[in-house]
Amino acid sequence: MTKPAVLVIDDEKSFRLVAEEALSREGYPVRTAATGAAGLQAFQHDEPEVVILDRNLPDVDGVQLLERLRRDAAERGGDPIIIMATAYADVESAVTALKLGAHDYLTKPLQLPELVVTVQKALENRRLKNQLQALKGQKEKSLAEFHYPPSKAMQSVFEMIDKVATSPSTTVLIQGESGTGKEFCATLIHQRTQSRADEPFIEINCASLPEQLLESELFGYERGAFTDAKASKRGLFEAADRGTLFLDEIGELTPSTQAKLLKVLETMSFRRLGGTRDHKVDVRVVAATNKDLLHEVQAGKFRLDLYHRLDVFHVRLPPLRERREDILPLARFFLEKFALRAGKPIKRLSPQAEQILYRYSYPGNVRELRNLIERAVILETGEEVDAGSIVITGAGASGRAETGGGAAHFFAIDASPEGTPPTLEALERAYIIRLLDHAGGNRTQVARLLGVSYPTVAKKIADYQIPMERKS
């Protein structure tokens, strides 16, 4: 991958040469200029991502050129990283440059490793900032979409969230079954905490990484901390500074990591792996688990002191079966979302489909409901999702759902022994079999129901090797 271009604007020929050599050796394309005018021309032509700018140039003041460079870049929608360099340790000039948008300020004579590391850190910070902004935008969009009258159980949850939002440093423990919306709840806490809402929301799944990698992700590491640590890296605690760090599946932490996390929560300071200096942060920690942590404590699998440090404010998310008033509003929301994404004209759920959805027990909670509706949108061809498109898979599949008017049949497909979801081809094959049963084997009627031609249905029957006895 090509590294970002660097422009060095400095009137000292020796500095330009050694800076170009050092940065080129690291793979950066480098261009140099001896005057402000030549530097401005090179900047406008090359549009480099990084500029090393001397404070004292023969034809223009470096701070004035800094303003001009940023103004020109802004007109093009750019935002270059500008690092000021000077032979004078002038604090006042440094403050002025930083206020005007300089990323950093270095004093000459520079150590070349310091220059290289400064450029690397500046680019890494820019990458993290862009990534966080993208993630924040995704979170805000998902929150904006969730506007529906909640059940009494969820109203109580939202009231709890509003209360803890007024205490921006309080640690929160969210407990709930898998798929109940713990991440959504954590995001709401962040967004409704006024002093943190505009700062980063960082999340990590504690069960997804091995112990050493998890620690390096949380706390960062210094150069040389391990074999592949060729440069220092900030951890997620530093990335979440002034914002919120969401630790999902906190019950999966190893005893060693539990001890280190406890120290951080008590002092809000830590050391990077391989480091000797303490880093202070201001972070609200929100943790989530689908386990009973008190039971884990009694079993000797979770530290009691860490449990009490996490469980300062407790939020319990009820399973979907305990808040049935939320099922149909959520189903309609997901239907609109997935129909729009698929470009299909589906507008509603049939009364029979709604009855099935309302009566189902949802062992997978909101996540399972979401998957049910996404599958229904894939299978449906008309403007209304009917009962035949409600495909229950895995542990929840039983073939029937009791409704207020008797028994309503839904379509069930068991997952594989390993618990993996069925493929789209398996779903389509099973759906065609379901329609053949419904139509008494009449392929013309199946074609009409699917909105396709008779030859298309015949070809699919042949391709999927559907037994002839199912059509007779």
- Which amino acid, 190? H
Statement: residue 139 has pLDDT above 70: no
Q: What does the domain layout of the chain look like in residue ranges?
A: 6-126, 146-318, 322-471
The reported pLDDT for the residue numbered 145 is 54
pLDDT value of residue 84: 85
322-471 shares the fold of 6-126:
no
Question: Is the confidence at residue 441, as pLDDT, over 60?
Answer: yes
User: Between 7 and 411, whose confidence is greater?
Assistant: 7
- Res. 210: pLDDT tops 90: no
Question: Could you tell me which CATH number the domain at 6-126 has?
Answer: 3.40.50.2300
* pLDDT single digits (tens) 91-113: 566 667 777 778 887 777 777 78
Short-list 439, 153, 74, CA closest to 323? 153
Listed ranges 24-38, 229-243, 372-386, 420-434; the one with the highest mean pLDDT = 24-38
Q: Burial letters for 314-345: b for 16+ Cβ neighbours within 10 Å, e otherwise?
A: ebebbbbeebeebbbebbbbbbbebbeeeebe
Kindly state the average pLDDT of the residues 165-171.
Answer: 96
Look at the pTM and tell me if it is higher than 0.85.
no
Domain 322-471 in this protein, CATH class: mainly alpha
pLDDT digit string, tens, across residues 277-306? 888 999 999 999 999 999 999 999 999 999
Q: Does position 406 have pLDDT exceeding 50, yes or no?
A: no
Q: How far is residue 175 from each of residues 244, 292, 311, 441, measured CA to CA in Å?
A: 18, 8, 10, 49
Query: Which overall architecture, per CATH, does domain 146-318 show?
Result: 3-Layer(aba) Sandwich (3.40)
Mean model confidence pLDDT for the chain:
83
Identify the band that residue 76 occupies on the pLDDT scale cut at 50, 70 and 90. low
